[in-house]
A and B are shown apart, each in its own frame.
Chain A
Amino acid sequence: MNKARTAAVELGAASFVPLISSFLLAVLMLLPLGSGVANVTMPHLAMIAVFYWITRRPMLMQYGACAAVGLCLDLWLNVPLGLNMLLLILARMFVLSQLKHFKGRNNAVHWVVFVVLSFGLYFVSWLIISAVNGVVWPVRAMFIQWLVTAFSYAPIGFLLGRLRRSIFQ
């Protein structure tokens, strides 16, 4: 029995909390928050959730879960299929390879890592969108969303932390 399955069996239904909370935050990204620019100023909540759970409970946020959240997000946001899927897989790949350097450090370090990682992911998404559409895509809206996402990590991470502590301890 692999580690992920062992963790899932030990925790029971609670092992689905990271996946469900990531899906829920992905759905929240679709809500019209009273502004036509809401889809730009809305932070990438799914990216925040996936990063949070990979850094805290990597066994409960497998590649398949990242791919599923990304794929649904691609369909719901009407962006090129595979874009968010790739971004979330890359996020997990990066975090797992670097986790030994910042695991156990305080939340500020995690925040800094997220800011750097999300910048890289937005850059990758800009490259992909430009390639798919065959034009140099405007960066302003993307830059604004990255900023909002970077600043939103702290409050969303705090809420996810409360959820994690209430369920896993």
Chain B
Amino acid sequence: MAWGVRPLVPIVQSIKGLASNTTGARRSVRGRGGLWFYLVASFFFLILELFGASIPGQVRGVADDVVAPVLNLLERPLRYMQSGMERFAGVSDIYQENQDLRDENDRLKQWREAAMQLSRENEQLRLILKVPKREVPAAATARIIGVGGGPFERSVLANAGSLDGVEDGLPVIDENGLIGRVLHTGRWTSRILLITDINSRVPVRLERTGALAIAEGQNENYLRLRFLPAEADIRVGDRVLASGHGGVFPPDLPLAIVSKIDNEYMFLEPIGGLEKLDYVRIMAYHAVPDTDALLLDDDGGADNE
């Protein structure tokens, strides 16, 4: 019926137009809806952080666990490449370095004898005086596989987690001294907050005088010494050790060296090799009794009775 088709064409066209307009409107709404949904979600997370209701460390721990295998895979060739480049760069100095190492080895042999003698004497005196041992066992030895924080935080990711016996808050050292503490743990990874982070505070004492203070991270390569008594004698080159106050860090761990004194501002250079962390030791140190554990013990004791 040709006569009936013609009048229908504009109607069909208008319906098509309407349909396309509707699709366009829906598309636009969907795009904007997506934008607003994600914007609101990001603001929601940020407001949670603003009011201190941060998401649990376990969630971040799981995220670290997920990315750890990839980092493990990528980190190894990178290490080999770096060590290869360092070896290549060091070939020209190898003769001089060999000579220096021989001299250092001779000096270390003498020191070793003295240290062994002192250690024996120390052990005998401890036995006589019944002083408890101060050695802190290692919870785990881990390798640094990632860094974090960007310009906002100084933290690193280690490849040992709760399955290796690592717990939140444990102190971490490298071969030179204290580098930080465990911030949160995943099953196979743990995040370590470095002593240079702006949120890091370590109670310390000066090795030479015993004066107590607090070493504060500055999100820089140095730390700042604060709350040192005004009458304290301090010099550039003084060693700073963890005092053990507060119970987070074991006492006498080397932390830093006084590098600059500028009136009331005193700056410290970390002893630990924060610039080139490879293997670290996470120490099983629990100076402050775990109140929950004590309560459980009490309950257990009551049950037994």
Interface residues of A (CB under 8 A from B): 2-3, 27-40, 42, 44, 62-64, 66-67, 70, 72, 74-83, 85-86, 89, 93, 125, 128-129, 131-132, 137-138, 140-142, 144-145
Give min CB distance, B161 to chain A, whole Å. 15
Contact present for A44 and B274 (CB under 8 Å): no
Contact present for A82 and B43 (CB under 8 Å): yes
Interface residues of B (CB under 8 A from A): 27, 30-31, 34-35, 38-39, 41-46, 48-50, 54-55, 59-60, 63-64, 67, 70-71, 74-75, 78, 82, 144-157, 183, 191, 194, 196, 198, 218-221, 274-277
Give min CB distance, B82 to chain A, whole Å. 5
Contact present for A30 and B275 (CB under 8 Å): no
Given known contacts A36-B194, A39-B154, A93-B35, is B74 in contact with A27 (CB within 8 Å)?
yes
Contact present for B149 and A82 (CB under 8 Å): no
Give min CB distance, A3 to chain B, whole Å. 8
Picked from A28, A78, A89, A137, the residue with its CB within 8 Å of the CB of B191 is A78
Contact present for A31 and B71 (CB under 8 Å): yes
Which residues from chain A contact B153 at a C-beta distance below 8 Å?
A: 39, 77-79
Which residues from chain B contact A36 at a C-beta distance below 8 Å?
A: 147, 154, 194, 196, 221, 274-277
CB-defined A-B contacts under 8 Å, sample of 14: A36-B221, A40-B151, A63-B35, A67-B38, A75-B60, A78-B148, A78-B153, A79-B149, A82-B41, A82-B42, A85-B41, A85-B42, A86-B43, A93-B35
Contact present for A35 and B276 (CB under 8 Å): yes
Picked from A27, A31, A142, the residue with its CB within 8 Å of the CB of B151 is A142
Picked from A3, A30, A81, A144, the residue with its CB within 8 Å of the CB of B157 is A30
3 closest A-B pairs by CB: A82-B45, A75-B63, A141-B151
Cα of A144 to Cα of B27 in the assembled complex, Å: 41
Main secondary structure, interface of A, reads helix
Cα of A148 to Cα of B45 in the assembled complex, Å: 28
Picked from A34, A78, A131, A145, the residue with its CB within 8 Å of the CB of B183 is A78
Picked from A31, A44, A80, A85, the residue with its CB within 8 Å of the CB of B74 is A31
Which residues from chain B contact A32 at a C-beta distance below 8 Å?
A: 75, 78, 144-147, 156, 277
Which residues from chain B contact A35 at a C-beta distance below 8 Å?
A: 275-276
Given known contacts A30-B71, A37-B275, A78-B191, is B150 in contact with A145 (CB within 8 Å)?
yes
Which residues from chain A contact B220 at a C-beta distance below 8 Å?
A: 138, 140-141
Contact present for A67 and B41 (CB under 8 Å): yes
Give min CB distance, A142 to chain B, whole Å. 4
Give min CB distance, A93 to chain B, whole Å. 7
Contact present for B71 and A27 (CB under 8 Å): yes
Q: Which of A29, A81, A145 has the most CB of B within 10 A?
A: A81
Cα of A40 to Cα of B155 in the assembled complex, Å: 11
Contact present for A138 and B219 (CB under 8 Å): yes
Which residues from chain A contact B156 at a C-beta distance below 8 Å?
A: 32
Contact present for B50 and A131 (CB under 8 Å): yes
Cα of A29 to Cα of B38 in the assembled complex, Å: 23
Contact present for B60 and A78 (CB under 8 Å): yes
Cα of A33 to Cα of B59 in the assembled complex, Å: 26
Give min CB distance, B74 to chain A, whole Å. 6
